[in-house]
Amino acid sequence: MTQETARPKAGQILGMSTAAFTACFAVWTIFSIIGIRIRQELGLSETEFGLLVGTPILTGALIRVLLGIWTDLYGGRLVFTATMLAGAAATFLLSYAHTYPQMLVAALGIGIAGGSFAVGVAYVSRWYPPEKQGTALGIFGAGNVGAAVTKFLAPFVLVAFGWQAVAQIWAAGLAVMAILFWLTTKDDPVTAERRRSGIRPTSAWLELEPLKNVQIWRFGLYYFFVFGAFVALALWLPQYLIKVYGLNIETAGMIAAFFSVPASLLRAYGGHLSDTYGARRVLYWTFLVCTAATFILSYPPTDYVVHGANGTTSFHLEMGLGGFVVTIFVLGFFMALGKAAVYKHIPAYYPNHVGSVGGLVGMIGGLGGFVLPILFGVLLDLTGLWTSCFMALFVLVGGALVWMHLAIRQMERGAAGVPLSRLPPFPEMQGLPEPVVQTRPSKAVLTDWRPEDPVFWQKIGRAVARRNLLLSIPALLLSFAVWQVWSVVVAKLPLAGFTFSADQLFWLAALPGLSGATLRIFYSFMVPIFGGRLWTTLTTWSLIIPAVGIGYAVQHPETPYVVFLILALLCGFGGGNFASSMANISFFFPKSEKGNALALNAGLGNLGVSVVQFAVPLVIAVGLFGPLGGTPQMAASTAGVAPLWLQNAGFFFVPFIVLSACASWFGMNDIASAKASFAEQAIIFQRKHNWIMCWLYTGTFGSFIGYSAGFPLLSKMLFPEINALQFAFLGPLVGALSRSATGWLADRYGGARVTFWVFALMMAGVAGVLWFTGMRDQPGAFWGFFASFLVLFFATGVGNASTFQMIPAISAREMERLMPGADAEMRRRQGEKEAAAITGFTSAIAAFGAFFIPKSFGTSIALTGSAETALWAFLVFYVSCLVLTWVVYTRKGGLLHDIERRKRRTAGQAAAAE
C-alpha cells in the first residue's frame, strides 16, 4: 500500500486511534477514583495508597519504550490491539483482588494501558505526510481527556454498584474498543509493504540505536515538563485548592477539570500551530510563558514591612483564587501546545524509529507523572509551603528553556561556520587588531606519550604512570570513604538526639548511592574534556563540601532533615569519582599492564569503605580536634551516658582531602592525546551484551556497595544489643581484598564460569542471612548473620573481578561477528574501545545498588516490619543472574564456552609441561 492510497483511510485511522487512546487513558487513571474506596476497605497508609495509585503510572511509563519498538517492528494495529486486551484483562482481574499485594500485581498490568501512547504515535505518524504529522499527533494526544472521563463517570458507578463494578465495566469497554479498533483499522503503509515484500523486521537492538543521541534525552526533559507536570498537577490540584483556598471537594474537582480537560483537548491546536509556524517556535513560547506562570504561582503568601523616612509601611502579597485559576489555565493551555510540539520533532528527526524514540520520550514524560507528585509531597513536608510544587516546576521549565536555547545556538553556530567565528564578541571591537595569544609549555601536560613503545615505557613512561597511579589511589580511597560515611553516621544519629524514623534513616543511607551512581555516568566523559590532573584535583576538593557539612550538621539535633538529605546527596561526589579515576589511569598504562593497574586503583580505592567503617567509630569517641572540633553530644548506651564527637566523622577526613588534592595538582599529569568522543563510545548502546553485563555487574558490585551502605544500619536495627559497627568494616575489607586477590581465577578458568559460581555462592549467602534473621532472638544468631554477610562480601569481590574479565573477552568475540571483513588489528582496536566504554557504563549502572539495597531494606521494614521481603527479592535477582550467565555465556553453545574451555586446556597443558 502506497502513501497515496493510504491517505483516504487516514482520517478513520486517526479517529479510531484517538478513541482507543482515550479508553486506555481512562483505564490507566482508574485508581484516581476507585483507589479512594480501596484505601478505606484495606485501611491503607499514605505510603501504601501512594504506591497503589502510582504503580500503573510508573509501569505505563516504563513499558512505552518496549511497546514503541514492537510497533516499529510488527505494526501499530497488532500491538495497539494486544495492548488494549492486556490492559482489559488486568483491569477485570482487579475486581477479584482482595489483598494489597494482589492489588499491586493488578496495578502492574493496568499500567500496560498507559503504554499505548507510544504505540499510537508510531502508528498514526505513518499515515500522514510530514507537514500534517503535528496536527495528527496533536489530535491523537487529545486522548489524555480519558482521565477526565474517569473522573466524571466513575464516581457515579462507584456509588451505585461499588468499585469492582467500575473495574469490570472499564475492562469491558476497553476490550470492546480493542475489537472495534482491530475491525475498523488497517496495517500502516510501512508494515503492509514490509509484509507484502516479505522483508523481515530489523533487530530490536537496532531500534535502540538512535537513543544514543543526547538530543532525544533533551526531548525527554521537555516532555517530562509538558506532560509529566500536567499529570502531576491534575492529581495535585484538588487537594491544593482545598487546603490553600478552603474550597469543598466538588468545587476543587471542577476547577481541576477546568485545568485538565483543556490541557488535553487543546493539544490538537498545538499540533496545528507546530505544522503552521514550526515546533521550535511553539516550544519557545511554551517554555517562556510557563516560566513566567510558574514563577508567579510559586510566590508564597508574604507580609512585607518597609521602614521609610516617613514611618513604617506594611502590606500583604498573596495570589487570590481568581488569579490562580486564570494563571493555572494559561499554564495548562501552553502545556497542551508544548506536548504537541515535542512530538512534532520526533517523526521529523527520526522517521524510521518513531516507535522507539517516541516510546523513550513518552516514558520519561510518564515518569514525570509518577515522580513529581512524590516530589511535591516531599517539598511540602520539608518547607511547609504549598507553593513549593510550583517552585520545583519553575526550576524544571527554566532548565528546559536554557538547555533548548543553548542547543539551538550551538546548532546555529555550527551552521554559520567560519564567518560567524571571525566576528568579535562585541560590536565595539570591530576593526581592532586581533590579540596575540602565547601559551607557555607545561610540564604537567604530556605531549609525547607512547606507552606501547617498549623503549619509551622503560625509560620514561613507567615511572610517570606509577607516580600518577600512586596519587590516584589515595584520592579514590578518600572518595569511597566520603561516599560511604553515612553508612556509619546514620546509625549513630539517634544516639546524638536526632528523632528520625527508620525509613528516614535508610533514605539517608541510600541517597549517596543514588547521586554517586548518577554522577558516574557524567564523570566517565570528563577526563578527556578537562584532563586527568585538573579533574582529579577538582573532584577531590569537592569532597570537602560534604565532609565539613556533616561536621557542622550533626552537632545540633534541631538541624532540619532536609539539610541531611542535601548532605547525603553531596556525598555522592565521592561515588562519581570512581568512573573518572578509572578512565584517567587507563590512559597511562600499556595494554599488558592496564589490567593490573586498574585492579590496584579499584581494589585499593574500594578499601575506603572499610577505612570509614573502621576509623569513624574510633574517631567519634575522642575529642580529636579539641575546642576547634566543637562540643560533644552526650549519648546514652548500655554502658551509660558517654560523650560522642559525631562531627569527627566529617572533620577527620578534611586534612587528608586537602593533602590529596594538593598532591594531585602538583604531582599528576595530563595526557594531551587522551581524547575519546561520546559518539565513538555510544555504539555500546546497540550491543545487547552491554545491557546483560549491566545486569550481572549490578549483581556483583551493586551488591558490594549496597551491602556496605546498608549492613551497619540493618544490623543495628535487627540486633540492637550488639555493637555491630565495630565489625562492619570487615565486610567491605573482605570484598575489596577478594577482588584484588582472586583475579587469577577468572584468568585461569574463565570469567563467565567464575561468575556463575559466584552467584551460586551469593544465593547461599542470602539464604544464610534469611535463616539467621528469622531466628535473631536465639543466642549466637548475630554471628551466623554476620558470617553469612561475610560470604556475600567475599563473593561480590570475586564477582567484581570476574565480570570485568568477561567484558573484553565478549567484545573480542563479538567483533568477529560484527566486523567479518575487517583485519585482526582493526577488530582488536574496536573491541578494546567498546570494552572500555562498556566497563565504564556498567560501573555507573551497578553503583545504583548503593541506593536500592539500603532503600529496599528500609521499605521492607516500613511495610512489613522485617527485612526478609527485601532479602527474598535479592535472592530472586541472584537466581536470574545465575541463569542469565549460564544461558548466554557458559553453557555449551554459549558465547564464551569454547573460549574458556580452550583457555583451561591450555593452562593445564602448560602446567603439565612444567
Q: Which of 602, 576, 479, 514 is nearest to 850 (CA)?
A: 514
Q: How far is CA 342 from CA 141, 349, 805, in A?
A: 11, 11, 42
Q: Which of 423, 413, 234, 399 is nearest to 331 (CA)?
A: 234
Residue with cell 502506497: 2
Q: Answer for the pair 715, 782: CB distance below 8 angstroms, yes or no.
A: yes
Task: Say yes or no to pLDDT of 913 above 50.
Answer: no
Report the mean per-residue pLDDT for the chain: 78
What is the tens place of the pLDDT at every residue in 126-160?
Answer: 888 877 776 777 788 777 778 777 767 777 788 78
Dihedral over alpha carbons 142, 144, 147, 148 (to 10 degrees): -20
Residue 163's pLDDT is 85
Residues in the chain: 914
Greater confidence, 205 or 145?
145
Residue 640's pLDDT is 64
pLDDT band at residue 212, thresholds of 50, 70 and 90? Answer: low
Greater confidence, 672 or 299?
299
DSSP code of residue 440: -
Greater confidence, 827 or 795?
795
The SS3 call for residue 775 is coil
CA angle, 359 then 364 then 370, to 5°:
125
CA distance between the termini of the chain: 71
Residue 247's pLDDT is 78
Q: Summarize the confidence of residues 474-497 as an average pLDDT.
A: 81
Give me the phi and psi of 778, to 5 degrees please.
-85, 150
The whole-angstrom separation of Cα 117 and Cα 140 is: 9
Q: What is the model's pTM?
A: 0.50
Dihedral over alpha carbons 784, 785, 790, 791 (to 10 degrees): 70
Q: How far is CA 654 from CA 604, 663, 854, in A?
A: 20, 14, 26
Which phi-psi region, left, alpha or beta, contains residue 140 (left: φ > 0; alpha: ψ -120 to 50)? alpha
Residue 548's pLDDT is 86
Which phi-psi region, left, alpha or beta, contains residue 722 (left: φ > 0; alpha: ψ -120 to 50)? beta
H or E element at residue 305 = strand 302-308
Q: Summarize the confidence of residues 67-75 as an average pLDDT.
A: 78
The whole-angstrom separation of Cα 756 and Cα 849 is: 20
Residue 902's pLDDT is 66
Determine the distance from the C-alpha atom of residue 107 to the mean position of all C-alpha atoms in its chain, rounded to a whole number: 22
What is the tens place of the pLDDT at every residue in 243-269?
Answer: 888 877 667 766 776 676 666 667 667
Q: Summarize the confidence of residues 580-606 as an average pLDDT.
A: 72
Residue 190's pLDDT is 79
Residue 2's pLDDT is 42
Please give the grid coordinates belonging to residue 134: 503535528
Longest dimension (CA), the chain: 103
The whole-angstrom separation of Cα 854 and Cα 849 is: 8
Strand partners, 635: 642
Beta strand 633-637 pairing with 640-644: antiparallel
Q: Which of 147, 152, 151, 125 is nearest to 136 (CA)?
A: 125
Q: How far is CA 870 from CA 171, 682, 808, in A?
A: 33, 34, 33
Task: Say yes or no to pLDDT of 912 above 50.
Answer: no
Greater confidence, 750 or 307?
750
Q: Answer for the pair 334, 289: CB distance below 8 angstroms, yes or no.
A: yes
Greater confidence, 231 or 692?
692
Task: Say yes or no to pLDDT of 84 above 90.
Answer: yes
The whole-angstrom separation of Cα 148 and Cα 94 is: 21
What is the tens place of the pLDDT at every residue in 460-482?
Answer: 888 888 898 899 889 988 988 88
Q: How far is CA 824 from CA 574, 680, 810, 815, 900, in A?
A: 39, 20, 16, 9, 20
Greater confidence, 475 or 452?
475
The whole-angstrom separation of Cα 24 and Cα 171 is: 10
3-state percent breakdown (helix, strand, coil) of the chain, nearest 5: 80, 5, 20
Residue with cell 551497619: 712
The SS3 call for residue 879 is helix
The whole-angstrom separation of Cα 843 and Cα 829 is: 21
Residues whose CB falls within 8 Å of the CB of residue 50, separated by 6 or more in sequence, listed in order: 373, 374, 377
The whole-angstrom separation of Cα 356 and Cα 337 is: 23
Task: Say yes or no to pLDDT of 881 above 90.
Answer: yes
Greater confidence, 270 or 209?
270
Strand partners, 317: 302
Residue 86's pLDDT is 92
Q: Answer for the pair 857, 506: CB distance below 8 angstroms, yes or no.
A: yes
Residue 20's pLDDT is 92
Determine the distance from the C-alpha atom of residue 86 to the mean position of all C-alpha atoms in its chain, rounded to a whole number: 28
Q: Which of 267, 32, 25 is nearest to 154 (CA)?
A: 32
Task: Say yes or no to pLDDT of 496 above 80.
Answer: no
What is the tens place of the pLDDT at every residue in 516-563?
Answer: 777 877 776 677 667 788 888 888 998 988 888 888 888 877 777 777
The whole-angstrom separation of Cα 112 and Cα 60 is: 5
Long-range Cβ contact pairs of 595-598 (< 8 A, separation 24 or more): 595/743, 597/465, 597/469
